[in-house]
Amino acid sequence: MTERTDEVTGRGPFVVLEGVEGAGKSTQARMLGVWLESCGVPFTLTREPGGTEVGEAIRNVVQDRPELSVPPKTELLLFLAARTAFVREVAQPVLERGELLIADRFSLSTLAYQGYGRGLDLDEVRRMDGFASGGLVPDLYVLLDLPVEQGRARQKEAGKTGDRLESSGTTFLKEVGRGYRELAATDPSVRLVDADGTPDEVHKRIRAVLRREMPETFASCED
Ligand code: TMP
């Protein structure tokens, strides 16, 4: 019998921001935080693969060391190792208090980057992700939709140098972009938001999606 000690029960709403590099996730996460504070919704904002001490350590290995050669399955297992800690230490306590959790990336990233980008078998990635996340599934993925080239151009403009994954080449990133779109077409929990626009414009689009899709959670917030 499989023991599922990580299983999350009786839980608050869980929203995840996703997108390719340069789509503006971090900016949008910050803006969402300000909005939620203004309307008094208790929330926790986190990022994957960080958010826990071990997650930050894994992030250092998997992202910040472009010189390391990391086989695709090793990369997958590192992200999933961080996810297990994230679910147990961050997500579970917040959701069990019935509070809103907003995460910068979750399982959809793994499917897009390690599944499509690295070419690992999608069903296998899903299965292993289910094991790592204890079956925790977000209520809503907000996918910031931007062509890969445009995201890269934004990053260049902002003077950001690529980390190990970003340096993996245009073909890899294009596959990630294609993966996101394919996943969005088949997963009913994914909503695409056009990320082409000023931060304010994109923020308003996200607000509208959240109010429409999760009216109970965002009832006290203005459009
Ligand atoms: P970010 O902090 O800019 O979002 O970067 C996180 C990087 O890690 C980004 O290149 C995507 C990658 N990533 C994966 O490849 N798989 C995953 O499961 C997660 C969470 C992130």
CATH of the domain at 75: 3.40.50.300
Residue 101 falls inside a structural domain? yes
User: How many whole angstroms from 85 Cα to the centroid of ligand 1?
Assistant: 16
For 7, list phi and psi in degrees, rounded to 5.
Answer: -60, 135
Distance CA 218, CA 205 (A): 14
Ligand 1 within 6 A of CB of 165: yes
Instruction: Decide: 118 and 169 in contact? Cβ < 8 Å.
Output: no
| Domain containing residue 146 | 6-218
Provide the domain count of the chain: 1
Cα–Cα distance for residue pair 123/39, rounded to 1 Å: 40
Question: pLDDT tier at 4 (50, 70, 90 boundaries)?
Answer: very low
Q: Give the per-residue pLDDT at 169.
A: 82
- Tokens 């299965």, residue? 127
Q: Which atom of ligand 1 is nearest to the CA of 48?
A: 20
Mean pLDDT of 23-50: 93
Question: Is 1 inside any structural domain?
Answer: no
Answer whether 105 contacts ligand 1 (Cβ < 6 A).
yes
Instruction: For ligand 1, say whether the CB of 109 is within 6 Å of any of its atoms.
Output: yes
Q: CB neighbours of 113 closer than 8 A, spacing ≥ 6? A: 79, 165, 176, 179
Would you place residue 167 in the very low, low, confident or very high pLDDT band (cuts 50, 70, 90)? confident
Among 65, 70, 113, residue to substitute to test ligand 1 (most atoms within 8 Å of Cβ): 113
Q: pLDDT at residue 49 above 80?
A: no
Q: Return d(Cα 208, Cα 140) in angstroms, integer.
A: 13
Is the residue at 191 inside a domain?
yes
pLDDT at 8: 63
Q: Using 50, 70 and 90 to split pLDDT, how confident is the model at 53?
A: very high
- Sheet of 43-47, strands arranged across: 43-47, 100-104, 14-19, 140-145, 190-194
Residue 223 is assigned to a structural domain of this protein: no
pLDDT of residue 182: 98
Q: Is 145 in the pocket of ligand 1 (CB under 6 A)?
A: no
Q: What pTM did the predictor assign?
A: 0.93
Ligand 1 center to 109 CA (angstroms): 6
In a domain, residue 88? The reply is: yes
User: Given ligand 1 and candidates 86, 106, 109, which is best to mutate, with the most ligand atoms within 8 Å of its CB?
Assistant: 109
